[in-house]
Chain A
Amino acid sequence: MTALADDELWSAIGDPSRRQVLDLLVSNGDVSASWLAGRVPFSRQAVAKHLAVLEQAGLVSRRKQGREVLYQVQAGRLDQAARAMADLAAQWDRRLGTIKRLAEAAHAQAKKSEAPAPPSNQT
């Protein structure tokens, strides 16, 4: 496992509004902050802040085109974030699987001993 998610990456993708900005960037490619602001339910200033955080985390980059600044997703970094999240989910799947195994075994055991069990009168 070489993909590491650092604090900045987690913080960046942890915010639902930022994920919304990220989703728009993923599906629309090179767009400007004002284009994004027209498609989200929060202010232009908030969009600018979210873009700054995403850029800091390496998830988006920007370039100048004429008088406009266009943003795009850094696919490698996003993939890393997605994998880190998938790892966390897989971790819980493994834990839940173990809980299932333990609980079902305990239940089977209890059912077996519902039939009159021999008393455990050992000295």
Chain B
Amino acid sequence: MADLVIEREILIEAPVEVVWRTVTEPDQMSQWFADRVDLVVEPGAHGYMQFGDQGGPVVVETVDPPARFSFRWNHPREEEPVAGNSMLVEFTLTPEGAERTRLRVSESGHELRAWPDAEKQRYADEHRGGWAEYLDRLASVLAKPSR
């Protein structure tokens, strides 16, 4: 599988259970990820995330508290998200002592070539030019002070 993979990690001075709640609870997610998060944190659950005036569906893949949480997003509407039409975002939490947690995230996938042309066109129109600009827009959305 030809995948684009981005991996990042951070060390957090808090117990793994606290980090788990921050990563997975929708009201917390709306502070670090999307503006609005409608999501039931259960494997296979379909949800929705709103970024500014745009949004998209997400599907929860793995929920293994307090160690692993993953979801797929950026897949074409009216299709089940699978490898090949979506991005997989995967969080891994590792306790390092009682009050410290290593949090890793990876984002992989995004084989837009597999999409039908009409869907590619729609995606391109919606995101006006591409993934990088989309991310840049997200960055400005997320850079605003939370609450």
Contacts and interface: CB of A to CB of B under 8 A. Distances in A.
Contacts of A95: 32-33, 105, 142
Given A99-B19, A99-B103, A102-B32, A87 B136 contact: yes
Contact of A92 (B8, B15, B22, B143): B8
Given A83-B132, A92-B105, A94-B142, A106 B6 contact: no
A1 B130 CA distance: 12
A92 B87 CA distance: 14
B90 to A, nearest CB: 11
Nearest to B110: A10
Nearest to A8: B113
Interface residues on B, range: 35 or more
Nearest to B101: A103
Q: Residue among A7, A16, A93 with the most chain B CB within 10 A?
A: A7
Contact of B22 (A18, A83, A102, A110): A102
Interface string B130-147: 111101101100110010
A107 interface: yes
B122 interface: no
Classify the secondary structure of A's interface with B.
helix
Interface string A4-26: 11111111011111100000000
Contact of A99 (B32, B107, B143): B32
A95 B8 CA distance: 10
Contacts of A8: 113
A88 B10 contact: no
A63 interface: no
A26 B109 CA distance: 24
Interface residues on A, range: 35 or more
Contact of B113 (A7, A17, A90): A7
Interface in B98-112: 99, 101, 103, 105, 107, 110-112
A106 B135 contact: no
B8 A6 contact: no
Nearest to A85: B6
Nearest to B22: A103
Contacts of B94: none
A78 interface: no
B14 A3 contact: no
Nearest to A106: B18
B120 A7 contact: yes
Q: Residue among B8, B9, B123 with the most chain A CB within 10 A?
A: B8
A5 B127 CA distance: 11
